[in-house]
């Protein structure tokens, strides 16, 4: 009797999981397996059937200069983006967590860029960063500073992409950090105030340790998103000037849909997957040294 009930329960669980399992297999696992087999071929879609090459695409990519340049550009974006994004998001989260009048309105305003299309947002920032008529250089001109060429300058193009990305993401990550702040027991701060702790001491000894799991989650998600940097680059610079903002997903897109080298693009995407996998695994390994889950 118990065995029948157990089997019936298992059948019920499998029955309700089937739609999700079908979606996972059909829309995720099957394309992944297909892309791996395509990465082992020379296939331009137009000429006909793929020609098997083995691992030649991977070898050519790793031996070429382009892969390392795009990886360097992606890492440069991450180095600029992550610290600034965390700093601004923490500031926004603290603002959200305050008791100021009308704070709900500010939360809604800061979240507007998150739900804004990247196409619209990138076009706005392309105008804002215009070296001649853009808002930023105009403001700098009022205080006697000559603004850079931004998206038309090899040095300043990536920082311009970073500014647009922070504007787009800060509301999302700020809201996540705000939720983390809301989960901190206020009695910790009350006890610290009784002991005479100042704002910085409370932030360093209470807020940061107890918020570290949320910060870790934000870092993981933001780094994964950074390696998949694409729409802002395509709309604002198209990889220029002179390849200064060429990144991995932008290369994958162009090889697949402009040059029709599907095998080469698939190999590029699998290398990107491996990079993200190992970077994430490394972060999970070192989290114990600074993430405090016990409250």
Q: How far apart are CA 210 and CA 119, in angstroms?
A: 37
List the pLDDT tens digit at each of the 295 positions of the chain.
Answer: 556 566 777 778 888 888 888 888 888 888 889 999 999 999 887 777 888 989 999 999 999 999 999 999 999 999 999 999 999 999 999 888 887 777 888 888 889 999 999 999 999 999 999 998 899 999 999 999 889 999 999 999 999 999 999 999 999 999 999 999 999 998 998 899 998 889 899 989 999 999 999 999 999 999 999 999 999 999 999 998 999 999 999 999 999 999 999 999 999 999 999 999 999 999 999 998 889 886 5
Give a yes or no: residue 295 inside a domain.
Answer: no
Q: Token match 């931004």: residue?
A: 150
Residue 295 has a pLDDT of 52
Give a yes or no: residue 109 inside a domain.
Answer: yes
Count up the domains in the chain and report the number: 1
Give a yes or no: residue 122 inside a domain.
Answer: yes
Asked if 151 and 63 count as a contact pair (C-beta separation under 8 A), the reply is: no
The closest of 223, 224, 219, 188 to 205, measured between CA atoms, is 188
β-strand partners of 51:
42
* Domain range for 198: 58-289
Give a yes or no: residue 34 inside a domain.
Answer: no
pTM for the model: 0.90
Give a yes or no: residue 29 inside a domain.
Answer: no
Residue 21 has a pLDDT of 83
Residue 2 has a pLDDT of 53
β-strand partners of 41:
52
Query: Which positions ≥6 away from 125 have C-beta within 8 Å?
Result: 160, 163, 164, 167, 232, 236
Give a yes or no: residue 19 inside a domain.
Answer: no
Q: How far apart are CA 266 and CA 189, in angstroms?
A: 52
For the chain, what's the residue count?
Answer: 295
CATH number of the domain at 228, please: 1.10.3720.10
Give a yes or no: residue 43 inside a domain.
Answer: no
Residue 214: CB atoms within 10 Å: 20
β-strand partners of 52:
41
Give a yes or no: residue 195 inside a domain.
Answer: yes
């Amino acid at each position: 009797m118990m065995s029948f009930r157990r089997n019936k329960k298992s059948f019920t669980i499998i029955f309700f999981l089937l739609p999700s399992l079908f979606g996972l297999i059909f829309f995720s696992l099957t394309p992944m397996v297909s892309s791996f087999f395509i990465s082992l071929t020379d296939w331009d879609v137009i000429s006909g059937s793929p020609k098997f090459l083995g691992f030649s695409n991977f070898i050519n990519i790793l031996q070429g200069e382009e892969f390392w340049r795009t990886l360097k550009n992606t890492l440069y974006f991450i180095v600029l983006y992550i610290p600034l994004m965390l700093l601004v998001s923490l500031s926004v989260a603290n603002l959200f967590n305050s008791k100021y009048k009308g704070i709900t309105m500010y939360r809604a305003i800061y979240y507007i860029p998150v739900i804004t299309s990247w196409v619209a947002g990138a076009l706005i920032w392309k105008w804002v960063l215009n070296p001649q008529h853009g808002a930023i250089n105009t403001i700098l001109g009022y205080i006697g500073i000559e603004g850079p060429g931004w998206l038309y300058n090899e040095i300043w193009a990536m920082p311009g992409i970073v500014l647009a990305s922070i504007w787009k993401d800060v509301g999302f990550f700020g809201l996540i950090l705000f939720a983390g702040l809301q989960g901190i027991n206020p009695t910790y701060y009350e006890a610290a105030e009784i002991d005479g702790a100042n704002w910085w001491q409370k932030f360093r000894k209470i807020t940061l340790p107890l918020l570290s799991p949320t910060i870790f989650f934000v870092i993981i998600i933001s780094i994964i998103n950074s390696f998949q940097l694409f729409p802002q680059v395509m709309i604002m610079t198209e990889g220029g000037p002179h390849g200064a903002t060429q990144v991995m997903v932008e290369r994958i897109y162009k090889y697949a849909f402009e040059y029709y080298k599907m095998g080469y693009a698939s190999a590029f995407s699998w290398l990107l997957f491996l990079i993200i996998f190992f970077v994430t695994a490394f972060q999970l390994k070192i989290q114990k040294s600074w993430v405090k889950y016990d409250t």
